[in-house]
Chain A
């Protein structure tokens, strides 16, 4: 069951690479939250119930409901246009993300070591590089934040892989997730949106040498 969820997660990565509209990105992020909820539930069932409830609440309330709602609110409040505006054509994004997934698979196959479930490692690495790829190839600031949220999901998956032994790390990762997302989005809502209307990185180029 975990494997099915993880493979669905990889498919969402491919989908986010070719999505055209910001609303699709938000929906995918919410869907990833649901998938993470399932994965966490299956994998961490043995740990301390209070801790488990905290982790599950984080995935379902924070990742699936609060953050997507907040993103939607930011987009509407700042009247950001609904196109994602990548620098590269979506066809190339599709190829690059596929290459990322294949390379992560090859890299993880090279590790001959049974201590970590291989599929977790493949998914986490692909998510990491896809997140970074989305950050560098999209023009809007809000898509940078979305790329960062994908990166956070990578941290979550990876911490689940070690989580049954060290639940403390999962909690720290979740606190990072909440803290940074609130910080980034909060600045976005209050400051950037008021000053820079379309939230385009082209407007943040005055500081350079």
Chain B
């Protein structure tokens, strides 16, 4: 099935690229969505099966694949609206949708791959397709964003490759040449400590560019800012999960060895620094999209703190990554509507959003509550469990600092969101304001509703999958 999926997505993307006809274009996108969902359902029913010898359908992959498939429907719908409202050039539309199809395909394949080099190849493919989306507006700023994104991603992906080479040295010493994750897990105890240390440092540093952690988070911020908001929604949710799954699977191997404490300290440092960086920039930032991007950096930091703390933290981190993807995707879709009303992303040019778009303003309000982990948000539960795991693992000092930083972030985030919602905008003439229909916001209500519903009432299938995904970690 994965062979059908990959070739199907490749063919669809190719036809969209060369075809300039509007109806055919959207028809093909529709076919791709059906393919994506058929593939997701097939994967769910064929858990633990191995395909093409490099792909294995496991629980974590299913969770993230389903998250991606849910987000991809509104992503295409809002792209459709985006092209309806902006000047539509057939060539640019073709490149946009073709790149988006490749991006979703590459992300799905990266989730499912069971071989570290194959994961690496598909992560490289996400860089290529994502940069086509970042360059969509074709002005000097988007060129700058694209250049930075490609350059930083290329360096990072090279670092990951160097890490894989070190890993292969370690593996050769234990008498194997198979770089699949299951073989790594089997050989974990006999791997040379020194090479594993080097490999983990390089792979982790390189993958932070996708996961959005310190030190390589910068390129992702520019990309989310400059890409059209439906693409930004994918970058800020599913694409960050690609980086997450890469680090997670490698950490799973390292956690079996004596390096576990060292590696978890590394994750704690990176996670805490990410929250710190997010707090500093949230105070300063004036662009709504960049603010949301920094909020994603904060959440990724919290997720890796949970992974590092262990215990209930593993469970909570995976729960958190699902909720974060839904929340951030919903908010990014809404920012597209904000931009259509004010023609600006700057917080100073916007305001009194309740007057112009009631449904959208409610989305932003609920989105803020969800992202700040205030009940009834599901993130409240996962974040609370992560704090508990930090407490149980005796990282009290880290926990106190994180709580203080989170208070700063909530204050800065709330200040900007409430300015946007309630304070009248300066020098804003509201005669020709576009009237945005409420149903354009409905997809975001569904996503945010999922965050709340899944937090209170998680279906048993999801809990089984999460417990299955973390079963390899030592208790």
- A binding-site residues for B, Cβ under 8 Å: 111, 113, 115-116, 128, 132, 135, 141, 144, 148, 151-152, 154-155, 158-159, 161-162, 165-166, 168-169, 172-173, 176, 179-180, 183-184, 187, 191-192, 195-196, 204, 206-207, 209
Say yes or no: B154 contacts A148, CB within 8 Å. Answer: yes
The verdict on B141 contacting chain A, using a C-beta distance below 8 Å, is yes
Q: Does B443 contact A (CB under 8 A)?
A: no
Complex Cα distance A4/B10, Å?
47
Q: How many residues does chain B have at the interface if contact means C-beta atoms less than 8 Å apart?
A: 40
Q: Considering the chains assembled together, what is the distance between the CA atoms of A183 and B135 in angstroms?
A: 14
A135: B residues at CB distance < 8 A: 155
Q: With contacts A113-B192, A115-B173, A184-B150 known, is A169 near B143, CB below 8 A? A: no
B144 contacts A207, CB within 8 Å? yes
8 of the cross-chain contacts (CB-CB < 8 Å) are A141-B147, A155-B158, A161-B169, A176-B158, A176-B161, A184-B154, A187-B147, A191-B143
Instruction: Using CB atoms, name the residue of chain A closest to B222.
Output: A207
Contact residues, B125-153 vs A (CB, 8 A): 128, 135, 140-141, 143-148, 150-151
Chain B residues, Cβ within 8 Å of A128: 162
Decide: A187 and B192 in contact? CB cutoff 8 A: no
Chain A at the B interface: SS class? helix
A206 to B158, CA, bound (A): 27
Q: Are B162 and A155 in contact (CB under 8 A)?
A: yes
Nearest A residue to B153 via CB reads A180
A209 with B165, Cβ < 8 A, contacts A180-B154, A191-B143 known: no
Is B157 touching A176 in the complex (CB atoms < 8 A)? yes
Residues of B with C-beta under 8 A to A191? 135, 143, 146
B172→A207 contact, CB < 8 A: no
Indicate if the CB atoms of B177 and A151 lie closer than 8 Å. Answer: no
Contacts A111-B194, A176-B124; A207 near B148 (Cβ below 8 A): yes
List 19 additional A-B contacts (Cβ < 8 Å) besides A116-B169, A151-B158, A159-B165. Answer: A115-B192, A132-B155, A148-B154, A152-B158, A155-B161, A161-B165, A162-B168, A162-B172, A166-B172, A166-B177, A172-B117, A173-B161, A183-B150, A184-B151, A184-B154, A187-B147, A192-B143, A206-B141, A207-B222
Min distance, Cβ A14 to any Cβ of chain B, angstroms: 22
CB neighbours of B465 from chain A (8 A): none
From the candidates A144, A166, A184, name the one contacting B168 in the complex (CB within 8 A). A166
CA distance A162 to B162 in the complex (A): 11
Q: Which residue of B lies closest to A180 (CB)?
A: B154
Q: Which residue of B lies closest to A147 (CB)?
A: B155
Does B164 have its Cβ within 8 Å of any Cβ on chain A? yes
Residues A187 and B165 in contact, CB atoms below 8 Å apart: no
Given A184-B154, A209-B281, answer yes or no on A162-B147 (Cβ-Cβ < 8 Å): no
Q: What chain A residues lie within 8 Å of B168 (beta carbons)?
A: 162, 165-166, 169
Residue numbers in B under 8 Å from A184 (CB-CB): 150-151, 154
Q: Which residue of A lies closest to B287 (CB)?
A: A209
Cross-interface CB contact of B290 among A158, A180, A209, cutoff 8 Å: A209
Interface residues of B, Cβ cutoff 8 Å to A = 117, 120-121, 124, 128, 135, 140-141, 143-148, 150-151, 154-155, 157-158, 161-162, 164-165, 168-169, 172-173, 177, 192, 194, 222, 225-226, 281, 284-287, 290
A115–B161 CA distance with the chains assembled, in angstroms: 19
Closest A residue to B177 by beta carbon equals: A166
Kindly state the separation between the CA atoms of A196 and B148 in the bound complex, as whole angstroms: 14
Q: Total contacts A to B, CB within 8 angstroms?
A: 96
Interface-centre pick from B140, B144, B154, B165 (highest chain A CB count, 10 A): B165
Contacts of B120 in A (CB 8 A): 172
**In the complex, what distance in Å separates the CA atom of A73 from the CA atom of B375?**
59
Given known contacts A113-B192, A165-B172, A172-B117, A209 and B146 CB-to-CB distance under 8 angstroms = no
Is B226's CB under 8 angstroms from A207's CB? yes
Interchain CB contact under 8 A, A151 and B144: no
Partner of B146, one of A116, A187, A206: A187
Pair B225/A207 contact, Cβ less than 8 Å: yes
In the complex, the answer to whether A162 meets B165 with C-beta atoms within 8 Å is yes
The verdict on A192 contacting B147 (CB below 8 Å), with A115-B172, A115-B173 known, is yes
**Nearest-Cβ distance from residue B308 to partner chain A, whole angstroms:** 26
Q: Please report the C-alpha to C-alpha distance between residue A209 and residue B164 in the assembled complex, in whole angstroms.
A: 34
Q: Closest B residue to A188 by CB, please name it.
A: B147
A115-B150 in contact given A135-B155, A151-B155, A155-B162 (Cβ < 8 Å): no
User: B147 touching A158 by the CB < 8 A rule?
Assistant: no
B residues near A207, Cβ cutoff 8 Å: 141, 144-145, 148, 222, 225-226
* Known interface pairs A155-B162, A184-B151, A184-B154; A209-B144 also in contact (CB < 8 Å): no
Q: Per a CB cutoff under 8 Å, which of A158, A179, A195, A209 touches B124?
A: A179
Shortest B424–chain A CB gap in Å is 25
Q: Which residues of A contact B155 (CB under 8 A)?
A: 132, 135, 148, 151
